[in-house]
Structure 1
């Protein structure tokens, strides 16, 4: 989790927040004279501009400090990695998947020589990507998110090394149902999970969202824990079948978002479930199997 405070604060608290940052570092980043390769010089300039934006226009001192540090490292000629979205507190699971797919494409372009062959555009791709990550954590300035994302995609298209990722799109969901008050994955789900794992292994760009749910019998805190355990157990079962954990986003909803709306305290088999969605870029593929899809209906 990136340690950034995202709440409105009174003016007296602004001094405290600013004190968490290093004003000298931020000022140095604004006035830096980059060294090193054309890529690191271009990246340092872009990060310097973003540091100035975060400090002078947004008054976001923690992020200004973070990007000032990246500015100075790049200006020193060091290679600075693009942000890993798993290090940031991004609430939207689909955004997290989009960002991870985009980062993989950028790193692949670097392996193909984009930093050496087209350094200015490669630096634009990375700085726009990092901007996209940071704005996604804030999660409310949709125009800023779109601007950074489009800047990244335009740069990736110019690089021509990898197709720019399109927004991830959801596949037909796969459902695993559970017995009442049970988090153990039912044996009846084995063929289903085998099929999901096979699809994931055949499609290395496929990311899985694994979301646990509970019915409304029991307390809210208990159902949250139960749905979490169900989701984690399904993810572990897929991992045991060869799906890397870093290609799965695990989440849980407790008794929220029921498949069948019920009153409080009602046992409903359709709501005791884990939902698995595949997220891909480019040409879509479905994890549905046959007319009924890849759903199993074990459980009461």
Structure 2
């Protein structure tokens, strides 16, 4: 938590507007306490700090917390350390909705909320399609669930590719959304995402002990009194809604839900009672610094956030595979 608070403070202080550290913190202290301690700033400086930087920093923390918590939930239920928030095709579902809106020029249909709302709805509908495909006799086998997610993801991904190939003037808008970004976001997006985080993280954390039992197999967990199917359904729905909400405001940002729970598992062990809440904090820190790098690395131009997380996440993922390979050789 201390690292998160320090990261927020540093990220708000960094930017291309040329504001000094004393001005930034003078504005923050004045807005929080009403006391003007130091600094001499204009109304535009206040707007830059409060409306642009701070809202973006808070949104980055929320997006990272949602994706990392969802990743921990997916890995626990599917008993697969390589599962991530997009395993069940939610990203493809949200991408179809966003690409459809951009392709047909309907962004102004509901104002600022158009793309986020449509992306969230199509992402949630994707989940129910996967459940319908995977459910058999009231139960969902893990292998069938993953396979259904792969099928739906590939199918919807083809639609997105089709719209990208057919678009001309808006192809860049679609691609930018698919690569993920927090540019041009506001407090409205923070207010949209916050309720999902407030409800979703405690919900998944409530099932942390049951997820620990899942590690021994579903049959063993059932013998210990766990309602396996209900637990899987609630955790998967909660994780998917967190993912859909995050993707709807930021676009597709990869590797967060894969890397953060893995790293925490190495640091604090396999207990989901620790992994889930720490994933929320660690995910927020990871995306916050990734977005800060995206903002300032090539200033005044911005790098897409999804590119930065992939550049960091892919080498880490390769390291995990390498360690796993060494562990397998050692076991032999």
Give the TM-score of the pair, scaled to structure 1.
Answer: 0.29
**Greater per-residue helix proportion:** 2
| Larger-Rg structure | 1
Q: Higher relative contact order at CA 8 Å, sep ≥6: structure 1 or structure 2?
A: 2
Give the TM-score of the pair, scaled to structure 2.
Answer: 0.27
**Greater per-residue strand proportion:** 1
